Amino acid sequence: EVICEKPITTDAAKGQLILDAERKTGRNIVVTFNYRFTAFATRIKQLIRESGIGRLHSVHLEWHLDRQHGADYFRRWHSLQRHSGGLLVHKSTHHFDLVNWLLDDEPEQVHAFGGLKVYGRANAPFFGTNCRTCPHAARCEFYRDFSADEFIRDSFFGCEAEDHYLRDRCVYSDQIDIVDTASVQVRYKKQTVLSYSLNAYSPYEGYHLFLTGENGRIEAEDFHGLVGPFKGEQRYGLRYYNKAEEVISIQLAPQTGSHGGGDDRMMKMLFGGLTEDPWGHLAGSRSGLMSALIGIAANESIRTGAPQTIASLVEFA
């Protein structure tokens, strides 16, 4: 068995190679979507099953990266499409997998729009090579001094003479070729539609999720982050609206542990002997690819302006 981090791949061609290798060897791939394992996401899944919301027709998901976490992707290798696949693959694979898992469905067609609205050379009020050497440090909102971070000093700054990699590269670099703003539309096989938005410069971090079914609606939000009004906090909100015009608020306590406690639960299932998986938390290669392929298709749709079908990207058995 092979355990793989997300995203399982950054382009469709490699995805096909992974599937072919899995078929040829008869071995299995597990993709580590830790967000599935969080108590909050699991409670949403449970509510979908038990609330009587009925068949889900539409999903809206807004994901916000704050101006510290979001900006950091544009300092690093993630800002180069050829390395990361962009945020729509590297970051959003978590978000798309969450929706796929909650719906118990697979994407069929993707149409997307996006661009660079805050980062990148076109938006630069001034420009430097990297934060440590920048003459504009005192007036740059995105300036970061990593000198006190021992790990970054030793692992990155101390290796620049060998690998030439700048961990604190300017967020206005002319090398950046990914989007910081995106809107993605997805149609699923069961005809549910998803509208998804991502921005990497929000004043707070977290998401809003709305699921509307034939008999009701679920609204969820998860706010946290490094800066902004929810700095150092973990706020959950979960409500169910039924046809009787009632609002049922569900209280959830903040979870301890990294990634909302999802990492610990995932590790127990992978290595701790926990074998029961009633909620389908473990993801295989197909699930891993389905989430990545939404992002891959979205990138291609942004590039061409045309909708993309998942079936045209990879051949599943």
- Digit-coded pLDDT (tens) for 253-277: 777 777 777 888 899 999 988 889 9
CB within 8 A of 223, min separation 6: which ones? 204, 205, 206, 230, 233, 234, 235
pLDDT grade for 1, boundaries at 50, 70 and 90:
confident
pLDDT grade for 53, boundaries at 50, 70 and 90:
very high
The predicted pLDDT at position 139 comes to 96
**In this structure, are residues 130 and 170 in contact, taking their beta carbons and an 8 Å threshold?**
yes
Q: How far apart are CA 120 and CA 122, in angstroms?
A: 6
**Roughly what angle, to the nearest 10 degrees, separates helices 285-304 and 92-103?**
120
Average pLDDT over residues 95-120: 98
Cβ neighbours, 10 Å, residue 140: 19
The first and second tokens of residue 104, run together, are 């118990």
Nearest in space to 109 (alpha carbons), one of 315, 313, 316: 313
The first and second tokens of residue 171, run together, are 């967020």
C-alpha triplet 204, 91, 110: angle, nearest 5°: 110
The predicted pLDDT at position 317 comes to 76
**In this structure, are residues 237 and 30 in contact, taking their beta carbons and an 8 Å threshold?**
no
Average pLDDT over residues 71-99: 97
The predicted pLDDT at position 281 comes to 96
The predicted pLDDT at position 94 comes to 96
**In this structure, are residues 200 and 118 in contact, taking their beta carbons and an 8 Å threshold?**
yes
- Digit-coded pLDDT (tens) for 163-189: 999 999 999 999 999 999 999 999 999
Q: Is the C-alpha dihedral spanning 21, 23, 27, 28 positive or negative?
A: positive
pTM of the prediction? 0.95
